[in-house]
Structure 1
Amino acid sequence: MTQRRIETLDLLRGIAIAGTLGTNIWIFTDPGGPAQVLNALGTPGTMETLLRFVTNGKFLALLTLLFGVGLELQYRSAARRNAPWPGWYLWRAGLLFVEGLIHYLLIFEFDVLMGYALTSVIVAYLIGRSERAITIWMVTVGSVFTVLIGLLTAVMLAEGTGTGTAPAPSTLFSDGSYLDQVTARIQSFGLYRIEIVVIVPLGIVLFLLGSRLMRAGVFEDSERGDALRRRLMVAGFAVGVPLNLLTSFAGPGWFLVDRYLLPPLVALGLLGLVATLARRATGAPGVLRRGLTNVGRTALSCYIFQNLVASVLCYGWGLGLAARLDDLRPWWVPVAWLGICALFMTLSTLWLRRFERGPVEALWQWAYLAPQRRSKSPGGDARVSTGSTDR
């Protein structure tokens, strides 16, 4: 991996983290909080629908593709060192699951890390197989996933989901204490974690697709890389964006298609566009690019931090802005998103001036290496290369 490719991956990861907040911010700023999202899909106004369309599902799909790229890099690292695979990668997946569980319990109901951890275990056993085998897995899982989304969408349309009277909003997030919310997450674990049923099969396809794009040279400075990036942009922007825009305004019955089926197509276009612009960029990066790249280098820390800050700003045990500024919705929501993004971009930049890794990344790396140091044989070498691109 050249330095430019590493920086491109960090930039993409930073954009994905900021974009993920662009989806979640609508949950935090709803006075009913995550509970209201589950109770009623709702029918937001035209402007809010348009603003949600910009981020809904697309950056989550981009982040998922990048996890697949990261897994490919880990696989290559193990192959270079003649290390057993998946070997210690399963310990990495276990740590990611625990991190996601803590994040879910203490901060945010719709954590994706637990789903990513489960997905990574499955894909770790697939990534080293033949191209034909990987293609079969992608086509099979993708087809089943598409049929499932189609059937669920048909049921939602037949039942008129979201067209009836919405239940009364929950007051847990506007009036409840922090401990009340933690308790609710424990009690409603199965309900809030049901999204994993969707995340895992979609993740299998996108993890493997991210790996294959990496192998196909999507980040290479070559004619092959240029051609691949152009195809991704055509698929994402000429096909994905119009279809996704249509489903965004088609009503709540199309929610699953709008969030899970079409956004990955748009995410491919984003990946191709950002990789192309990063390749063509010359000179020192500006403030925005440098900030997003630093967010990508501290992605886990920023992912947790942004949800924590949004909780403090919006929930009743914090500043309670979701209830106080509800009359200004949707206009104050993108302002809150911009403010939080500017904050974690600034803090990540300041942090990396003194430290190599983000705070969560450093703790995670220590936990990853700890059992390997303890299990080394006398006189053996406990050092384990994790690859400079895996942050």
Structure 2
Amino acid sequence: MPLLDVLRGVAILGTLMSNVWIFAGPGAEWGLLGGNAGSSAGADPSSLAGVAETVFRSLANGKFLSMLTILFGVGLAIQFRSAAQRGNPWPGRYKWRALFLFAEGTVHFVLVFAWDVLMGYAVVAMLVAWLLTRSARAQRVTWIAMGALHLMVMSLITAALLLAPGGGTNGGADADAVALYAEGGYVEQIAFRLSHAAVLRMEPVLSFALLVFLFLLGVRLFRAGAFQGDAAGRRIRRRLAGWGLGIGLPLNALAVLGGSDFFFLDRYAAAPVLAIGYLGLIGTAMDRVRHPGPLTSALTSVGRTALSCYVLQNVLAMLACYGIGLGLASRWADSGPWWVMGLWAAICLALVVGASLWLRRFEHGPLESVQKRLLRR
């Protein structure tokens, strides 16, 4: 299914659209907890730079992460179907795949990026893999219950922020954390992540119900034929685009206008709806492509090496922004958002070129090859 590779490539590059602001902000990974989600220093929100940053962030925040989560569910459904067709036990070898993903995510969290998603995906994948052996009714009830539970939790958190004295805002990034990522050593940063792991690993805990919901949504979409090249698949994709964009765009606009107190509803409630619209929109656009061009080939290459590209993009962003590398985050802290958007484009270009060249000689990406070799054992 060529469409799945393209979607996966878009999701990987789109996830960096959100993460690059974490690397570039004061206090980096820890700064996000202290208000680093706001506009860049030196950028007037009403100026062209401020508007560009708002649009850039709003189009990405949580949307591509949700898309990536849905696609993980699709991949799980494909592997389940493959095992059933071959008469293999389930989850069978898949549990080792999930264990590898958890181990890789742990290494990624410790050495590179505190807001890693792979650890959470691995845990949810094992639960959903087990759910796929249950009845269709059990899967449907779990899907609805997880969606309702997640909306309730996000609503309660938002209400608490609105009712808190002075709102949900705080004083900004911690000065020690700012100095650590601007001037501290690599070993010090690793020690900081480990000592604050309980807080830095809170996102997959808070969004656990959403992850399960989106995984199961991916399973349902795959089984409905949403990624097939026939007329039924094209019809489903048009509906996803219409409903997802029609509902998601207004919801996200309202959440953005609501300010920082609506951060959780924006990233974890409105964003998944728009992500569904993105899936349908990209799928509908692909349906009109008669002869794949350079853009399609580039996205396909990134999609086929998604795990490697996800890790590499964070490594490149870390080396560009932190003091252990080029230190651009502190050097250009007051220069507005343009350099951050330029950094995103440069890393995307590096990933596209690197993935394309790699696949000319090898069938799978580097981390994908390691995973396959380990699973054979």
TM tier, smaller? over 0.9
Structure 1 equivalent of residue 42 of structure 2: none
The amino acid of 1:18's aligned partner reads: L
Structure 2 equivalent of residue 211 of structure 1: 219
Structure 2 equivalent of residue 72 of structure 1: 77
The amino acid of 1:34's aligned partner reads: E
Q: Deviation of residue 168 (structure 1)?
A: 4.3
| 1:262 aligned counterpart, secondary structure | helix
User: Is structure 2 residue 337 aligned with structure 1 residue 337?
Assistant: no
Does structure 2 retain, via aligned residues, the 8 Å contact 1:115–1:199? no
Partners of 1:258 and 1:202 in 2: how far apart?
Answer: 13
1:204-243 paired onto structure 2 within 5 Å: 204-243=212-251
Does structure 2 retain, via aligned residues, the 8 Å contact 1:218–1:225? yes
Structure 1 equivalent of residue 138 of structure 2: 133
The amino acid of 1:165's aligned partner reads: G
TM-score (normalised: structure 2):
0.94
Q: Deviation of residue 326 (structure 1)?
A: 1.4
Tell me whether 124-133 or 89-98 shows the greater mean CA deviation.
124-133
| 1:353 aligned counterpart, secondary structure | helix
Measured against aligned partners, the alpha-carbon deviations of 1:89-122 in whole angstroms (never above 9, x if no partner) come to: 1111111000000000000000000000000010
Does structure 1 retain, via aligned residues, the 8 Å contact 2:20–2:317? yes
Structure 2 equivalent of residue 8 of structure 1: 3
The amino acid of 1:38's aligned partner reads: L
Structure 1 equivalent of residue 171 of structure 2: 165
Structure 1 equivalent of residue 26 of structure 2: 31
Q: Which of 358, 367, 370 is matched with 1:360 structurally?
A: 367
CA 1:167–1:297: 2 relative to 1, 3 Å: closer
Structure 1 equivalent of residue 158 of structure 2: 153
Does structure 1 retain, via aligned residues, the 8 Å contact 2:234–2:287? no
Measured against aligned partners, the alpha-carbon deviations of 1:360-391 in whole angstroms (never above 9, x if no partner) come to: 11111111111xxxxxxxxxxxxxxxxxxxxx
Q: Deviation of residue 303 (structure 1)?
A: 0.3
Q: Deviation of residue 224 (structure 1)?
A: 2.3
Does structure 1 retain, via aligned residues, the 8 Å contact 2:22–2:29? yes
Q: Deviation of residue 31 (structure 1)?
A: 2.9
Measured against aligned partners, the alpha-carbon deviations of 1:219-266 in whole angstroms (never above 9, x if no partner) come to: 123332222112211121111012102211211110101111111111
Tell me whether 169-178 or 343-352 shows the greater mean CA deviation.
169-178
1:45-56 paired onto structure 2 within 5 Å: 45=45, 46-47=50-51, 48-56=53-61
Q: Deviation of residue 133 (structure 1)?
A: 1.6
Measured against aligned partners, the alpha-carbon deviations of 1:293-316 in whole angstroms (never above 9, x if no partner) come to: 100000011000000000000000
Does structure 1 retain, via aligned residues, the 8 Å contact 2:36–2:173? no
Measured against aligned partners, the alpha-carbon deviations of 1:20-61 in whole angstroms (never above 9, x if no partner) come to: 000000001113211111122554234233221010000000
User: Is structure 2 residue 258 aligned with structure 1 residue 250?
Assistant: yes
Q: Deviation of residue 162 (structure 1)?
A: 4.4
Q: Which of 190, 195, 200 is matched with 2:203 structurally?
A: 195
Tell me whether 15-24 or 157-166 shows the greater mean CA deviation.
157-166
Measured against aligned partners, the alpha-carbon deviations of 1:322-373 in whole angstroms (never above 9, x if no partner) come to: 1111122211111110000000100000000000011111111111111xxx
Tell me whether 242-251 or 210-219 shows the greater mean CA deviation.
242-251
User: Is structure 2 residue 194 aligned with structure 1 residue 186?
Assistant: yes
Tell me whether 199-208 or 351-360 shows the greater mean CA deviation.
199-208
The amino acid of 1:185's aligned partner reads: R
Q: Which of 347, 350, 353 is matched with 2:354 structurally?
A: 347
Measured against aligned partners, the alpha-carbon deviations of 1:179-214 in whole angstroms (never above 9, x if no partner) come to: 111110111111100111123211111111101101
Partners of 1:163 and 1:192 in 2: how far apart?
Answer: 19
Partners of 1:216 and 1:368 in 2: how far apart?
Answer: 30
Structure 2 equivalent of residue 387 of structure 1: none
User: Is structure 2 residue 297 aligned with structure 1 residue 290?
Assistant: yes
Partners of 1:42 and 1:142 in 2: how far apart?
Answer: 25
TM-score (normalised: structure 1):
0.90
Partners of 2:89 and 2:146 in 1: how far apart?
Answer: 27
CA 1:168–1:129: 2 relative to 1, 3 Å: closer
CA 1:213–1:166: 2 relative to 1, 3 Å: same
- Unaligned stretches of 5+ in structure 1? 371-391
- Unaligned stretches of 5+ in structure 2? 40-44
Partners of 1:360 and 1:353 in 2: how far apart?
Answer: 16
Structure 2 equivalent of residue 269 of structure 1: 277
Partners of 2:174 and 2:121 in 1: how far apart?
Answer: 33
Partners of 2:169 and 2:328 in 1: how far apart?
Answer: 28
Q: Which of 280, 303, 306 is matched with 2:310 structurally?
A: 303
User: Is structure 2 residue 112 aligned with structure 1 residue 107?
Assistant: yes
Name the Cα RMSD after superposition.
Answer: 1.3
Partners of 1:171 and 1:229 in 2: how far apart?
Answer: 47
Equivalent pairs counted in the alignment come to 364
Does structure 1 retain, via aligned residues, the 8 Å contact 2:35–2:169? no
Structure 2 equivalent of residue 389 of structure 1: none
Partners of 1:327 and 1:41 in 2: how far apart?
Answer: 14
User: Is structure 2 residue 288 aligned with structure 1 residue 280?
Assistant: yes
Structure 2 equivalent of residue 121 of structure 1: 126
Partners of 2:170 and 2:192 in 1: how far apart?
Answer: 26
CA 1:121–1:337: 2 relative to 1, 3 Å: same
Partners of 1:275 and 1:213 in 2: how far apart?
Answer: 13
Structure 1 equivalent of residue 328 of structure 2: 321
Does structure 1 retain, via aligned residues, the 8 Å contact 2:237–2:283? yes
